[in-house]
Amino acid sequence: MKRLNKIVALLLLAITLAVPTTAFAAKNDQGVDWSVYQGTYGKFGYGHDKFAIIQIGGRNSTQGIYEQATYTTQVASAIAQGKRAHTYIWYEVGGSMDLSKTTLDYFLPRVQTPKGSIVALDYEHGASGDKQANTNAILYGMRRVKAAGYTPMYYSGKPYTIANVYYQQILAEFPNSLWMAAYPNYQVTPTPNWQVFPSMDGVAIYQFTSTYIAGGLDGNIDLTGITDNGYTKGNAEKPKTITPAVVAGKEADNTPKKTIQVGDTVKVNFSATNWSTGEGIPSWVKGNSYKIIQINGDRLLLDGVMSWINRSNAEIISTSQTEQTINKAPTITAKTYTVRYGDTLSGIAYANGTSVAALQSLNGISNPNWIYVGQTLKLSGTATITPSVKTYTVRYADNLSTIASKLGTSVNHLVSTNGIKNANLIYPGQVLKY
């Protein structure tokens, strides 16, 4: 009997060792990545998506340091939907160690995803002619990410990487840390096309399309389980550390549907089939988020589409309480610079990895030529730089709902941004801001 127990124990041990570890629980999970163009609460492509990698902002050659106004609400939204949230930084620093340092100094304290989660450096533009300097700047950034307690990743495309970066040096220090993009075409691609996979060492996430759904959305697949990082056994409801955005997301996730109030934001579930009035729900509505503007028993009236949905077909994304939680996020003490003789605002902005617009906003400067010797300027703070306005030209048969879905925004946003009094009155050739 004792020997039998020993044999059973050994068999159980063998079975346990044969089962993949929790680090690989998310292997082959699909997910998305978001920026400001996916709107306040982001958008998933399909009900089976498991993660979102969200742009916090970054540094580019035109704006300098800039923030994404949607980052915090998108992090909370992903958590509220039971998805793993991660972060990426636009990292247009060329081969400059100074710009790398400025960018990481600014953004690492502002990361709202849990410790251990991915913080990827998006290096797809602005490389210098010095391949080693570019590589050094990337390695510096990834070391800073790791030292801050996050999982560092490098994002780009294979041709750009081969031309500008010694990526094997990255892998020598950070194995399996590449997030690489390669698309077969621009048709809707819900699953990877492995014939165009960027065959190279160390790819942990494959971005296989920019048209995951009609209208555009990046689709990704986790090849190693790296998107589990930051979450206990890959469970999005069990982040390893808490931030204001994570708290807000968990609060929304745990809010009972019976307590939904006017002003709350909900997502239309992918599984929903009919409006409460019986008509079929269009596919472009599913997965999108809408404000509740009226409640009648178990029926919710959605802003923008002006349709009633059953409470059971809605998922809470944000409530007034969760939004207050997000707004409690601590601010960062601003760094300063004292103006010297011969300084210009553009020169100060360039030297400090920021933009003239950011300095004007932070310091209340209406005219960039009006600075003076001895003036103390804030170099960073809580000001948000609004991205350049983009436009869309209305085509024949367009309506605001399809346009909003195509652009990753909402009808309400288009109406308010463009001063539209009647959402049904748009015309071909009309230029809409979004």
Taking only the tens place, the pLDDT of each residue in 364-409 is 787 777 787 778 888 876 444 344 456 777 776 778 888 877 777 7
Kindly state the average pLDDT of the residues 258-286. 87
Which helix (H) or strand (E) segment is 256 a member of? none
Kindly state the average pLDDT of the residues 406-424. 77
Kindly state the average pLDDT of the residues 321-340. 62
User: What confidence category does residue 326 fall into, taking pLDDT thresholds of 50, 70 and 90?
Assistant: low
pLDDT exceeds 50 at position 10: no
CATH for 256-318, among 3.30.365.10, 3.90.79.10, 1.10.10.10, 2.30.30.30? 2.30.30.30
Q: Which residue has the tokens 């194995």?
A: 175
User: What confidence category does residue 357 fall into, taking pLDDT thresholds of 50, 70 and 90?
Assistant: confident
Same CATH fold assignment for domains 336-378 and 391-433: yes
- The half-sphere exposure of 159 on its side-chain side, counting CA atoms within 13 A, is 3
Residue 53 confidence (pLDDT) = 98
**CATH code, 17-242:** 3.20.20.80
Lowest mean pLDDT among 23-32, 110-119, 157-166: 23-32
User: What confidence category does residue 117 fall into, taking pLDDT thresholds of 50, 70 and 90?
Assistant: very high
Q: What is the spatial distance between Cα 5 and Cα 39, in angstroms, rounded to a whole number?
A: 58
- Catalytic residue list: 33, 122, 124
Q: What is the spatial distance between Cα 178 and Cα 170, in angstroms, rounded to a whole number?
A: 9
The CATH class, in words, for 336-378 is: alpha beta
pLDDT exceeds 80 at position 20: no
pTM over cut 0.75: no
Residue 377 confidence (pLDDT) = 86
Residue 88 confidence (pLDDT) = 98
Residue 364 confidence (pLDDT) = 79
pLDDT exceeds 70 at position 322: no
Q: Name the phi and psi angles at 165, rounded to 5.
A: -140, 140
pLDDT exceeds 50 at position 191: yes
Q: What is the spatial distance between Cα 134 and Cα 3, in angstroms, rounded to a whole number?
A: 62
User: What confidence category does residue 362 fall into, taking pLDDT thresholds of 50, 70 and 90?
Assistant: confident
Residue 255 confidence (pLDDT) = 82
**CATH code, 391-433:** 3.10.350.10
Q: Which of 5, 354, 403, 41 is nearest to 214 (CA)?
A: 403
The string of DSSP codes covering 17-35 is HHSPPGGGTTTT-EEEEE-
The helix/strand/coil state of 407 is helix
User: Residue ranges per domain, the chain?
Assistant: 17-242, 256-318, 336-378, 391-433
